[in-house]
Amino acid sequence: MMKSRTFVWLGSLMVLAALCGCNGTTAEDTELQGQIQQLEADLEETTAQRDALRQDIEKLEASLSEAESRLASTSDVRDELRSQVQDLRTSREQLDTKVDELAAARAELQKKIEELDKDKVQLQQRLGDLTQSRDELQVMVENLVDTRGLLEKQVASLSEARDAAVEDAKTAQAKIEQLGSKLKVQTQQMTELQGQIVAIRSVLEQLQQKLQ
């Protein structure tokens, strides 16, 4: 836009210069001089704006370079952030897996707790049964203690009877030994008598044979 205005002003100066060469009246020279001065002022203003624009462009270029540097740094940071995000995603997946495993373990633990509760109820029932059995056994023990007292008395009586029986057995054993000795003597005598009987029968048979 400013370049177009500069070209227009330059064209106007050239036209004015041509007019000044063609018609040299004083009024026209004064008017043209004023226009030339105005154009020169506009040209200076335009030149100043151009210089300011160049400075602005240089500043923008510097800002652009700085922005590009920051963008490069930002790209590096972005790449690093992407890597961290990927790592976080991987960690989250691993965490989700662990959470699922913990949930399964918790369900299994809950199942075991329920089973233990059932076992606890059964154990309480068994404990009640054992307590009742213990009480019954306690009564039985007390009865057995009483019975033991009676049995001890009976054992004492039986011991006395046994001692008497032992003495009787000793006496009977002595008698049996005496009878055994007598039996041996009588057996020996009987053997001798049987030998004599056999001899007598032999003599009788010989006599009978002679008599015949």
pLDDT for 13-33, tens place per residue? 555 555 544 444 566 667 777
For 139-170, how does the pLDDT look when each residue is reduced to its tens digit (9 = 90+)?
888 888 888 888 888 888 888 888 887 888 88
The residues, any chain, with a CB within 8 Å of residue 2's CB and separated by 6 or more, are 46, 49, 50, 53
How far apart are the C-alpha atoms of 16 and 38, rounded to whole Å? 12
Task: Give residue 57's pLDDT.
Answer: 81
Q: What is the pTM of this model?
A: 0.30
* Res 28: pLDDT: 65
Supply the pLDDT for residue 3. 44
Q: Where are the alpha helices (DSSP H) in the chain?
A: 2-22, 26-211
Higher-pLDDT residue of 1 and 173 is: 173
What pLDDT, on a 0 to 100 scale, did the predictor assign at position 22? 45
Domain edges within the chain: 2-113
CB 12 within 8 A of CB 35: yes
Contacts of 31 (CB under 8 A, 6+ apart): none
Q: Is the pLDDT of residue 92 over 70?
A: yes
